[in-house]
Structure 1
Amino acid sequence: MIRNVLLLILVWVFIGVSCREDIDKSQLEFYEGPIRISHDIELLHSDSAIVRTKLMADKQLEFQNGNTEFPEGIVIHFFEKDGELSTTIRADRGYHERKTDLYRGEGDVQVHNLLKDQRLSSEELFWDPRTKKIYTEKFVTVEEPTRIIKGTGMEADEGFNDYKFTKVTGIIEDIL
């Protein structure tokens, strides 16, 4: 009886091993791509029932770790307390790191303060919604109605009202 049971187990093991298909190991690799893809994104942030920021993107990729990517560009609008649109940020590509709540724009990054008619151009810009600051370590050009300032590294409030350069290049006329 025990001999028959052992023989039966041995036959099952032999059949299981001999019929085993080869496994494609590439199918077992960890997937690191997006877990969700969204189109025509519009995210609003309000304070006291007044919209303060509006983020728009044609495409958003969300990853397992909570990070998001905006591969087709990103636009962020900032509004004054009265609801007036004051500043826009546009970038060819955008990224948001969930852990630090930090946004990064890359490519042709443009900031436009509509109220002061100021424009900023750079190839990379960070926005920290917690500190309400924008900054970069890259080359920056700021155009105002009466002057153009170029430099490397810049920090400003998110509305691009007040800003400071790390290293200014060129000649600045009419500083005040």
Structure 2
Amino acid sequence: MTTGCENDLKTIMELDKKNAGVEKASGITIIYSQKAKVTAKLIADSMERHLEAPTFLEFTHGLHVDIYDDSLGTVESTVDAKHGKYMDGTADIFLWDNVVVKNKKGERLDTKQLNWDAKKQKFISNAKVRISTPTDTIRGTGLEANQDFSIYKILNPEGPFTVKDSALIQ
């Protein structure tokens, strides 16, 4: 008794074509610059570059980003996420799954999804967010923040929070 296996040549060619459209790398460090200044450094365990248009980089095993000030000497904020996608044509970065942003003031953003527009140097999210400061925790849905996370706005705040200075209310 014998058994055999017959493969469809067209199926094999399609599989090879899909695999040929992806480059894989591990132990990744990427330096981002804008106007001849280094603005960020990304570190990831692994990366896949998808070569079919629109081309993008995908980080499926986590990533860490240090965002620098103008002198490259000080880390202004850090970003961690379990997954990320960098779009080559637009420089937009989409982060999801346990996204954490920390700034040098000790404030921390936790969310499930965050978009980073590197050209505008801005974070945007439509998801639920939690911001922890040394003295308070603020929750809500939706966020806009600058790249170093020193200025942020929760679009739809929820729950109790403390206003520290009545002069800010107008």
If the length of structure 1 is used for normalisation, what is the TM-score? Answer: 0.80
Dislocated runs of 4+, deviation >6 Å: none
Query: How many residues in Structure 1 have an aligned counterpart in Structure 2?
Result: 155
Q: Which has the larger radius of gyration?
A: 1
Give the TM-score normalised by structure 2.
0.83
Give the SS at the match of 1:159: coil
Matches within 5 A, 1:33-72: 33=19, 34-46=21-33, 51-64=38-51, 65=53, 66-72=55-61
Deviations 1:94-124 (A, max 9, x none): 11122322111111100000x2110000011
1:123-169 C-alpha deviation (Å, 9 max, x unpaired): 11111110000111000000011111000000100100111111110
Residue 95 (structure 1) aligned to one of 85, 99, 106: 85
2:102 paired with 1:112: yes
Structure 1, unaligned stretches of length 5 or more? 1-20
Q: Which amino acid aligns with 1:169?
A: E
SS at match of 1:32: helix
Partner of 1:25: helix, strand, or coil?
helix
RMSD: 2.0
CA distance in 2, matches of 1:175, 1:143: 15
> Which of the residues 140, 143, 157 maps onto 2:132?
143
- Tell whether the 8 Å contact from 1:32 to 1:63 is kept in structure 2 after alignment: no
Distance (Å, rounded) in 2 between the aligned partners of 1:22 and 1:130: 48
1:134 is matched with 123
Change (3 A) 1:171 1:28: same
Post-superposition offset of 1:23 = 4.8
**Stretch of structure 1 that moved more, 25-34 or 125-134:** 25-34
| 1:125 lines up with 2:114 in the alignment | yes
User: For residues 22 and 147 of structure 1, do their structure 2 counterparts lie closer, same or farther at Cα, with a shift above 3 Å needed?
Assistant: closer
Alignment partner of 2:145 out of 147, 156, 161:
156
